[in-house]
């Protein structure tokens, strides 16, 4: 499965807090090192063996790495919240480096897709939000209320 692009691949960033649409977690499966797998397993209170059995894609192989499994079209650790527009990462404090490196931005197609899908908004060429005033306000107050990571 394709891996997330890193910051270096993105020429021009238009920063925005992550609004937890979950699109990147639906489109990509994170690759973790053996040390990261152990760290996540510890945090879940399971053995490494059990972690590999339950959460890792056993059809994928690259020496020294594991691929976190996809379940129902998303990273197995992506969870719903009460707000259907906002998702949660169940291992956020111990998430792997590849997820830490991934920065949200309005130049990213994944964030744009989430903005449209969850909030009915788009962005113009100068990075300004486009949509009804009510939707823009709702989105901005959601960001302020801490729905961003």
- By the 8 A CB rule, do 31 and 96 touch? yes
Among 91, 98, 104, 139, binds ligand SF4 (CB under 6 A): 104
Interface residue with ligand SF4, options 51, 66, 96, 110 (CB under 6 A): 110
Burial class (CB in 10 A: 0-12, 13-18, 19+), 115: buried
Site map (CB under 6 A) of ligand SF4, residues 21-40, x = contact: xxxx----------------
Stretch that binds ligand SF4, among 32-40, 74-82, 93-101, 110-118 (CB under 6 A): 110-118
Using CB atoms within 10 Å of the CB of residue 92, give its burial: 0 to 12 exposed, 13 to 18 middle, 19+ buried.
exposed
The window from 71-79, 108-116, 119-127, 130-138 that contacts ligand SF4 (CB under 6 A) reads: 108-116
Q: How far is Cα 108 from Cα 111, in angstroms, rounded to an integer?
A: 5
The residues of the shown chain that bind ligand SF4, judged by CB under 6 A, are 18-24, 104, 110-111, 114
């Amino acid at each position: 499965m394709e891996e997330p692009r890193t910051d270096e691949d993105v020429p021009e960033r238009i920063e925005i807090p992550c609004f937890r649409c979950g699109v990147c977690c639906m489109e990509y499966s994170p690759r973790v090192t053996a040390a990261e797998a152990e760290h996540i397993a510890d945090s879940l209170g399971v053995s490494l063996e059990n972690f590999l059995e339950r959460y890792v894609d056993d059809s994928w192989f690259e020496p020294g790495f594991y691929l976190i499994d996809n379940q129902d079209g998303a990273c197995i650790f992506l969870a719903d919240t009460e707000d259907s527009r906002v998702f949660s990462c169940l291992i956020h404090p111990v998430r792997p480096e590849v997820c830490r490196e991934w920065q949200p931005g309005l130049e990213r197609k994944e964030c744009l897709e989430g903005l449209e899908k969850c909030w009915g908004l788009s962005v113009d060429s100068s990075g300004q939000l486009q949509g009804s005033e009510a939707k823009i306000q709702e989105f901005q107050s959601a960001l302020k209320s801490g729905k961003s990571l």
